[in-house]
Amino acid sequence: MKRALCPGTFDPMTNGHLDVIVRAACIFDEVVVAVATSPDKGGGPLFSVDERVRMASEATAHLSNVSVRPFDSLLVDLARQVHATVIVKGLRAVTDFEREFQMAQLNYRLDDAIETLFIVSVPEYMYLSSSAVKQIAGHGGSVEGLVPANVNERLVERLGQGR
């Protein structure tokens, strides 16, 4: 039984995240999507951790081997707690590489029994990010097709759209 962790802030989950989760769910027996309570990037999240967990759970409800949970600890501690041996992250353009490389190195140093595996983004989501989605929706633009339908609804409720 191989269990993987797909961690992130997911503020909110995009179709790029979902694509990586679906592909991880094809490789591993089980995938735990781990939603970080507090983002490590500047600024507070738009959605509370409960809202982010709910949106991610709805968007992955069709995947029988995927579960979603919040976390507020070191990632390697959560991996040990849920018996996951692999951390799966998506890689988009080279701009992601340095930060992801640093996190992978530090996680390996913290626990060398846990591997980091990168899944390369499909070209259509290469430049997609949660921040870009929030910026577009915040200015009234449409993010349909860039985020799961349930996330689109929440974004419209929270930020408005097509004003």
- Where does this chain bind ligand PNS (CB under 6 A)? 7-9, 36, 39-41, 74-75, 103, 106-107
Cβ closest to ligand PNS, residue 135 vs residue 142: 135
Whether 99 is catalytic is no
Rounded CA separation 83/55 (Å): 24
Smallest gap from residue 43 Cβ to ligand PNS (A): 12
Whether 41 is catalytic is yes
Rounded CA separation 158/133 (Å): 13
Whether 83 is catalytic is no
Whether 80 is catalytic is no
Cβ closest to ligand PNS, residue 55 vs residue 161: 55
Smallest gap from residue 153 Cβ to ligand PNS (A): 22
Residue 23: is it exposed, middle or buried by C-beta count within 10 angstroms (0-12/13-18/19+)?
Answer: middle
Cβ closest to ligand PNS, residue 155 vs residue 161: 155
Q: What are the residue numbers of the active site?
A: 17, 41, 92, 130
